[in-house]
Amino acid sequence: MKKIIFYMALVSLLSVSCSDVIEQYETEASNSQLMNRDLTSEDETKYAEEGDPTILGEQLPIPYTIENMMAAYKSLLAEPKAEGNRSLTAVNIRSTHKYIKFNPATEDELETLQQSDLILYDYPLDKEVLVVGKFYHDPDVPADQPTPQYATVRNETALPAGISYEILQEV
């Protein structure tokens, strides 16, 4: 009889403990789902309908400028020296790449660019992308002319000959 009472007490104690654990787990899971939904609902990538263009927003700062890298470096130097940042005094910040806007005047020039080893974008990389579409055509360029192409290129990389370009930023 004592064993039966003991086992019944043990079973009821375990069921109460398990239900508390299950309830806590369900609450945490629900909170986690709400947090994930809140984070992704505002930051979800928006896509255009099939065949519609990319839509750009505001101008964004270029984080990799020499000025920004120097500011970050000075900020790190201002921190107390610790085991992980002892080598900061030997950093040489300099331009290694160029952010370039190519202005192909003809479809042949555009094809020459596309056949090069450059990684090209048909939209400016320093603009917010509001809606991702299949293409972007600069509104300042006539529809019958190719849109500018953008790339970040190592300083020593040879650029395709005969295609107009401008260096937008040393990075």
Same domain? 117 vs 77 = yes
The domain of 100 spans 55-170
In a domain, 89, yes or no: yes
Tens digit of each residue's pLDDT (9 = 90 or more) over 81-140: 666 655 566 678 899 999 999 999 999 999 999 999 999 999 999 999 999 999 999 999
Same domain? 24 vs 108 = no
Summarize the confidence of residues 18-41 as an average pLDDT.
48
Same domain? 77 vs 146 = yes
In a domain, 48, yes or no: no
pLDDT at 91: 79
pLDDT at position 52 over 70:
yes
Summarize the confidence of residues 12-40 as an average pLDDT.
48
Same domain? 83 vs 141 = yes
In a domain, 49, yes or no: no
Paired residues of 97 in beta bridges: 154
Same domain? 125 vs 71 = yes
24-38, 42-56, 146-160, range with greatest mean pLDDT:
146-160
Same domain? 3 vs 79 = no
pLDDT at 73: 86
Q: Is 70 left (phi over 0), alpha (psi -120 to 50) or beta?
A: alpha
In a domain, 120, yes or no: yes
Instruction: Return the minimum-mean-pLDDT range out of 35-44, 60-69, 111-120, 141-150.
Output: 35-44
SS (H, E, C) the chain: CHHHHHHHHHHHHHHHHHHHHHHHHHHHHHHHHHHHHHHHHHHCCCECCCCCCCEEEEECCCCCCHHHHHHHHHHHHHCCCCHHHHHHHHCCCCCCEEEEEEECCCHHHHHHHHHCCCCCECCCCCEEEEEECCCCCCCCCCCCCCCCEEEEEECCCCCCCCCEEEEEEEC
Same domain? 98 vs 28 = no
Structural domain count of the chain: 2
In a domain, 81, yes or no: yes
Summarize the confidence of residues 144-164 as an average pLDDT.
96
Q: Which of 102, 94, 96, 95 is nearest to 151 (CA)?
A: 102
Same domain? 38 vs 62 = no
Top pLDDT among 43 and 54 is at 54
Grade residue 34 by pLDDT with cuts at 50, 70 and 90.
very low
* Tokens (6 digits) for 20: 């508390």
- Number of other residues whose CB lies within 10 A of the CB of residue 16: 10
